[in-house]
Amino acid sequence: MKPEDYIEGILKSDRIALSRAITLIESKKKEHRLIADEVIENILPETGKSLRIGITGVPGVGKSTFIEKIGKFLTSNGKKIAVLSIDPTSTISKGSILGDKTRMEELSVDPKAFIRPSPTGNYLGGVAQKTRETILLCEAAGYEIIIVETVGVGQSEVSVKKMVDFFLLLMLAGGGDELQGIKRGIMEMADMIVINKVDGSNKKAGERAAKEFEKALHLFPPNENGWVVPVGTASALEHTGIEDTWKTILKFRDLTTENGHFHSNRENQNLSWFREALRERLEQDFFSRHHVRQNLKETEELIFSGKLPVRKGIDRLLSGI
Amino acid sequence: MKPEDYIEGILKSDRIALSRAITLIESKKKEHRLIADEVIENILPETGKSLRIGITGVPGVGKSTFIEKIGKFLTSNGKKIAVLSIDPTSTISKGSILGDKTRMEELSVDPKAFIRPSPTGNYLGGVAQKTRETILLCEAAGYEIIIVETVGVGQSEVSVKKMVDFFLLLMLAGGGDELQGIKRGIMEMADMIVINKVDGSNKKAGERAAKEFEKALHLFPPNENGWVVPVGTASALEHTGIEDTWKTILKFRDLTTENGHFHSNRENQNLSWFREALRERLEQDFFSRHHVRQNLKETEELIFSGKLPVRKGIDRLLSGI
């Protein structure tokens, strides 16, 4: 397949062309990357029209089921949605394709939904870059809502926050123990918190938790974009919270579109994506040098234990070049 | 003065030698930097023995008075303390030296206290590096407690968090409006929150605010180091909160020393300082190249508005080298 074939296929919303183009993005071969670059450059004018939603939460919070429910709700309302994921652990398990397919049983066979598991990669930066480019391809293929899913541990949710318009944090009622898995700092990144699995005997505790969180969030500094972060509840069992969540997302979009923050956020994301990618490229070039590879570990050990000043350590690595 | 003179002077706790060595660190002249590097390398074995405390809060929260009070409390208990500041705005006002001296009237004439205003610099990274090195010099000169003060706006408090053992956030009662100045994400970085100016007619509101914050913080994910973030109150007028804050800081130190987090935090800070400084150096080298300087602005504008793909933009800048 030539670049034109991919471009034509994607613009015609052909799933196979789209899948293959994503595979090119994920490939480590240089000739694949060159084709991918040409494809992206050509589809660029057709991108940016979707609503990009990030969803995070610790394992066990019910992310997949929540995404399946909101996904089915959207496709049954005629929307085309794509679900991408960033899972830094997928490199290890190697099972994320099967995992995602079986996890979202209904959505994975829905003709209006496109599900793509996390690309594997050696480091998060690379995975994030690939997901950003995949968002562009999905948009060019006519997907109107892009959901980027991630696990609420490690650094991946910061990456996702930087590539979406709306960032949703799923939590469980109870506080304390359940929060063990979540990293500090995530709560202040959320545009909405949904307490999940609020049903049956868990209902009262869930509703109380929602109220407590709402109160706590009022103590946070306000968002620059004027958005007051709401706390909702949801249950897959009792079919609650899905439509409300969607309405909230639309409210957010309307408010930020009107006050200009939706657009300026996208522009700033473009620029910081560029700067990050550039920095990564410079670092990759540097760290792949022979002298650096030979001396990095020892230098870092001396720095770590405080035996070598930082500036001397840098000189040491730069001197051999 | 030769490097040996600075080293000897600092190790003898000579204030003039210390001040001059800091001036070398802040200098842009290469010959000064070379002397500074040699000084730091030689005093390194004498560093690391202080307790490093970061204090942040928006302008008007009463930072200077709070630091003066806690500083006087410590020096009157026989401790030697240094107060450094990171103020990204000091470059503009150029008045920070006079400002700091007049702000902390008592502390600035205390022989057991050493006050140094924020170094000026073109960018925060550089200022942060200089402050980190200044901490080392102060430690070698025998200062047992180093307070690094910063304004709770912009990015400077993230830098300070990364160079201290304990991070204190000062706030005012009332919530809402007062929080406008504080950036999101700072609350989750704090090891303690102190509601300041809790006196007179403000007392009830202040105590209520402290309780609300304490409750809200329980909803945050727990700290890895096992520390439960407390909320205190303080008043310079009514002389309250200073000793309690200090006791809390000691409790934190004891807990984290015992469970090993105090030490591992220092080691990780060393390593991330090194990696940041290295990255900055690589970027500086890159951005100072003729081709990059000529094309950066145009490239970034195309990226910003979404007219050029990120990878093409990077190729564009790298191609001319």
Cα(B55)–Cα(B182) distance, integer angstroms = 13
Across the interface, whether the CB atoms of B307 and A215 are under 8 A apart is answered no
Across the interface, whether the CB atoms of A222 and B271 are under 8 A apart is answered no
Across the interface, whether the CB atoms of B175 and A40 are under 8 A apart is answered no
Across the interface, whether the CB atoms of A309 and B277 are under 8 A apart is answered no
Whether A31 has its CB under 8 Å from any CB of chain B: the answer is no
Q: Which of B188, B282, B305 is facing A185, going by the closest CB pair?
A: B188
Q: What pLDDT score was predicted for residue B157?
A: 86
Whether A297 has its CB under 8 Å from any CB of chain B: the answer is no
Mutate to test the interface with B, among A30, A220, A231, A292 (most CBs of B within 10 A): A220
Q: Which of B188, B271, B281 is facing A314, going by the closest CB pair?
A: B281
The four Cα atoms A151, A152, A158, A160 give a dihedral, to 10 degrees, of 40
Cα(B310)–Cα(A8) distance, integer angstroms = 22
Whether A213 has its CB under 8 Å from any CB of chain B: the answer is yes
Across the interface, whether the CB atoms of B216 and A219 are under 8 A apart is answered yes
> Mind listing the pLDDT tens digit for each residue in A86-133?
876 654 444 444 455 467 889 999 999 999 988 877 677 778 889 999
Q: Note whether A171 and A63 are within 8 A (CB).
A: no
Of the ranges A34-38, A99-103, B215-219, which is most confident? A34-38
CA distances from A313 to A80, A304, B171, B232, B264 (A): 52, 11, 39, 41, 20
Q: A107-116, A147-156, A303-312: lowest mean pLDDT where? A: A147-156
CA distances from B212 to A192, A202, B219, B228, B265 (A): 21, 25, 11, 15, 29
Across the interface, whether the CB atoms of B306 and A48 are under 8 A apart is answered yes
Q: What pLDDT score was predicted for residue A98?
A: 41
Closest Cα partner for A44 from B96, B37, B312?
Answer: B312
Whether A34 has its CB under 8 Å from any CB of chain B: the answer is no
Q: What pLDDT score was predicted for residue B183?
A: 74
> What pTM was estimated for this model as a whole?
0.83
Q: Is the pLDDT confidence value at A177 over 60?
A: no
Mutate to test the interface with A, among B139, B162, B270 (most CBs of A within 10 A): B270
Collect all residues of chain A within an 8 Å Cβ-Cβ radius of residue B183. Answer: 221
Across the interface, whether the CB atoms of B221 and A183 are under 8 A apart is answered yes
Whether B282 has its CB under 8 Å from any CB of chain A: the answer is yes
CA distances from B92 to A205, B11, B96, B215, B299 (A): 52, 34, 10, 39, 29
Across the interface, whether the CB atoms of B221 and A278 are under 8 A apart is answered no
Q: What pLDDT score was predicted for residue A95?
A: 41
Q: What pLDDT score was predicted for residue B223?
A: 87
Instruction: Provide the 8-state DSSP code for A50.
Output: S
Q: What pLDDT score was predicted for residue B49?
A: 94
Tokens of A15: 């799933």
Q: Tell me the shortest Cα–Cα distance from B248 to chain A, in angstroms.
A: 21
Q: What pLDDT score was predicted for residue A152?
A: 63
Q: What pLDDT score was predicted for residue B92?
A: 44
Mutate to test the interface with B, among A188, A214, A265 (most CBs of B within 10 A): A188
Q: A142-151, B219-228, B242-251: lowest mean pLDDT where? A: B219-228
Collect all residues of chain A within an 8 Å Cβ-Cβ radius of residue B212. Answer: 215, 219
Across the interface, whether the CB atoms of A40 and B278 are under 8 A apart is answered no
> Mind listing the pLDDT tens digit for each residue in B66-113?
999 999 999 999 999 999 988 766 544 444 444 554 578 899 999 999
Across the interface, whether the CB atoms of B219 and A220 are under 8 A apart is answered no
- Residue A55 bridge partners (DSSP): A149, A168
Across the interface, whether the CB atoms of B309 and A37 are under 8 A apart is answered yes
Is the model more confident about A127 or about A19?
A: A19
- Work out the mean pLDDT of chain A and round it to a whole number: 89
Whether B304 has its CB under 8 Å from any CB of chain A: the answer is yes
Q: CA nearest A178 in B: which residue? A: B221
Q: Which stretches does DSSP call E strand in B161-289?
A: 166-172, 192-196, 231-233
Is the model more confident about B223 or about B122?
A: B223
Q: Note whether B185 and A188 are within 8 A (CB).
A: yes
Cβ-based neighbours of B130, under 8 Å, separated by 6 or more: B25, B26, B119, B121
Q: Tell me the shortest Cα–Cα distance from A71 to chain B, in angstroms.
A: 28
> Mind listing the pLDDT tens digit for each residue in B204-215?
999 998 998 898
Whether A228 has its CB under 8 Å from any CB of chain B: the answer is no
A274: confidence class by pLDDT, cuts 50, 70, 90: very high
Q: CA nearest B48 in A: which residue? A: A306
Q: What pLDDT score was predicted for residue A188?
A: 85
Give mean pLDDT, residues A156-179.
84
Q: What pLDDT score was predicted for residue A89?
A: 60
**Which residues 60-119 of chain B have a CB within 8 Å of chain A?**
none
Q: What pLDDT score was predicted for residue B179?
A: 58
Tokens of A303: 């720095």
Q: Tell me the shortest Cα–Cα distance from B101 to chain A, in angstroms.
A: 31
Across the interface, whether the CB atoms of A187 and B188 are under 8 A apart is answered yes
Q: CA nearest A221 in B: which residue? A: B179
Tokens of A9: 């296929």
Collect all residues of chain B within an 8 Å Cβ-Cβ radius of residue A316. Answer: none
Across the interface, whether the CB atoms of B222 and A180 are under 8 A apart is answered yes
**Which residues 133-192 of chain B have a CB within 8 Å of chain A?**
133, 136, 175-176, 179-180, 182-189
Q: What pLDDT score was predicted for residue A24?
A: 95
Percent of chain A clearing pLDDT 70 (strictly above): 91
- Work out the mean pLDDT of chain B and round it to a whole number: 89
Give mean pLDDT, residues A39-68.
93
Query: Given CA atoms A195, A199, A204, A205 in this order, what sign does their dihedral have?
Result: negative
Phi and psi dihedrals of A233, rounded to 5? -125, 155
Collect all residues of chain B within an 8 Å Cβ-Cβ radius of residue A133. Answer: 309
> Mind listing the pLDDT tens digit for each residue in B120-170?
776 777 788 899 999 999 999 999 999 999 876 667 888 899 999 999 999
> Mind listing the pLDDT tens digit for each residue in B54-67?
999 888 889 999 99
Q: For the CA atoms of chain B, what is the radius of gyration?
A: 21
Percent of chain B clearing pLDDT 90 (strictly above): 63
Q: Tell me the shortest Cα–Cα distance from B291 to chain A, in angstroms.
A: 15
Across the interface, whether the CB atoms of B41 and A129 are under 8 A apart is answered no
> Mind listing the pLDDT tens digit for each residue in A223-269?
889 999 999 999 988 999 999 999 999 999 999 999 999 999 999 99
Mutate to test the interface with A, among B179, B269, B278, B289 (most CBs of A within 10 A): B278
Could you give the maximum distance between any two Cα atoms of chain A, in Å? Answer: 66
Percent of chain A clearing pLDDT 90 (strictly above): 63
